[in-house]
Amino acid sequence: MSSTTRPSSGSPSSGGPTSDESRPRKLEQSNPDYDPNIVVEAQNLTKIYRDFWGRQKVRALRSLDLEIRKGEVFGLLGPNGSGKSTTIKLLLGLLFPSSGRALMFGKDATEVRKNERIGYLPEESYLYRFLTAEETLDFYGRLFDMPAKLRKERAAELIEKVGLTWAKRRQLREYSKGMVRRIGLAQALINDPDLILLDEPTSGLDPLGTREMKDMILELKAQGKTILMCSHLLADVQDVCDRIAILYQGELKELGRVDDLLKVGEETQVRFKGIPESAHAEIRQVIQKHGGEVLSLENPRTNLEDLFLSIVRESQQRPGHRSEGARKSG
């Protein structure tokens, strides 16, 4: 989590985020209308950036209404400049709305104590370049007042999880873009948060890293965590998100379940194997007899991601092996 979203570390009442189960409940109990199934709520949320003289500059977000439920992976989509990062910053209380409200766990986004339950991976790296991975996680663990033993255990566990054990004693200034992204995720999870906000989590990652990041997101969901991620990499969103919102120039254009939005209702897809090609004509006839139209009858293709991953995995298992196509050209 970035230093801007840390809890007030000076607060004597704040114990370790994972050690004191009662704190989050206390936070919830203070709001009688709080529905624990609604983790994030935007009500008519609007942000207008103004220039130094207070003149209106950019209307980055217009009257956004949104609810994110406990345990779901929610994707915020939109082209560059559509207001995704602005929305995340408003929800975190890093920006003040021009109008409307942002609520997290039923509390106003500006409430500092909610941060104990939130992990945040920002769009840009903000980590200290001269710290190692271990020192970085230890630093953020201290901000959450975690005891030394727990910090050490949690850091080792997270470094392993994000695949950086081999580089844990190297300073972050020597890290590649993808490695920085990985340690950023580890940092966002240091306080074992209930809600994780990921701004472009797969940016800078190679396809293997992207797959691992998506698997980690699904693993967090399986643990009951709520995740809000924003991205313009549509395949990533499609693979992991339960629901999505599409923003365009700060306006909500679409909201719904990924499955429902992508379903092509009037078409049916059939896949089979073990039938000779000679039978295809018969299959076409049956479809036409029932008034249907054959749109495609062909071998399915794998996608490039699966192909790439199978090649990388094969290369790891059989060093020196090359595909037939690569042998011909080499």
Can you give the binding site for Mg ion, defined by CB under 5 A? Answer: 84-85, 123
**Between 129 and 158, how does the x/- string for binding to ligand ATP read (CB under 6 A)?**
------------------------------
Of the pair 86, 115, the CB lying nearest ligand ATP is at 86
Distance in Å, CB of 57 to ligand ATP, minimum: 5
**Residue 190 CA: distances (Å) to CA of 13, 113, 174, 187, 280:** 20, 16, 22, 5, 56
Question: Between residue 83 and residue 112, which ones bind ligand ATP under the rule CB under 6 A?
Answer: 83-86
88's CB contacts (< 8 A; 6+ apart) are 76, 120, 197, 199, 228, 230
Residue 202 in contact with ligand ATP, rule: CB under 6 A? no
Distance in Å, CB of 109 to Mg ion, minimum: 18
Residue 80 in contact with ligand ATP, rule: CB under 6 A? yes
Of the pair 158, 230, the CB lying nearest Mg ion is at 230
Residue 251 partner contact from ligand ATP, Mg ion, none using kind-dependent CB cut-offs of 5 to 8 Å:
none
Of the pair 123, 242, the CB lying nearest Mg ion is at 123
Of the pair 168, 232, the CB lying nearest ligand ATP is at 232
Residue 75 in contact with ligand ATP, rule: CB under 6 A? no
Residue of 15, 71, 81, 163 interacting with ligand ATP (CB under 6 A): 81
Q: Which stretch binds ligand ATP (CB under 6 A): 23-31, 52-60, 236-244, 261-269?
A: 52-60
Of the pair 81, 163, the CB lying nearest Mg ion is at 81
Distance CA 324, CA 322 (A): 7
Exposure string for 4-15, b = 16+ CB within 10 A, e = fewer: ebbbeeeeeebb
Distance in Å, CB of 123 to Mg ion, minimum: 5
**Residue 121 CA: distances (Å) to CA of 3, 112, 180:** 11, 17, 11
Assign residue 31 a region: left if phi > 0, alpha if psi is -120 to 50, beta otherwise?
Answer: beta
Residue 78 in contact with ligand ATP, rule: CB under 6 A? yes
Of the pair 64, 196, the CB lying nearest ligand ATP is at 64
45's CB contacts (< 8 A; 6+ apart) are 61, 63, 64, 65, 66, 87, 90, 97, 99, 100, 101, 102
CA angle 179, 184, 186 (to 5 degrees): 100
Distance in Å, CB of 82 to ligand ATP, minimum: 4
Distance CA 25, CA 312 (A): 46
Of the pair 76, 190, the CB lying nearest ligand ATP is at 76
Of the pair 86, 187, the CB lying nearest ligand ATP is at 86
Residue type for 285, please? Q
Distance in Å, CB of 195 to ligand ATP, minimum: 19
Distance in Å, CB of 60 to ligand ATP, minimum: 3
Distance in Å, CB of 290 to ligand ATP, minimum: 46
Distance CA 2, CA 198 (A): 12
Residue of 40, 60, 164, 240 interacting with ligand ATP (CB under 6 A): 60
72's CB contacts (< 8 A; 6+ apart) are 221, 226, 227, 242, 243
DSSP for 206-260, please give it.
Answer: -HHHHHHHHHHHHHHHHTT-EEEEEES-HHHHHHH-SEEEEEETTEEEEEEEHHH
Under the rule (CB under 6 A), what is the footprint of ligand ATP?
49, 57-58, 60, 78, 80-86, 123, 232
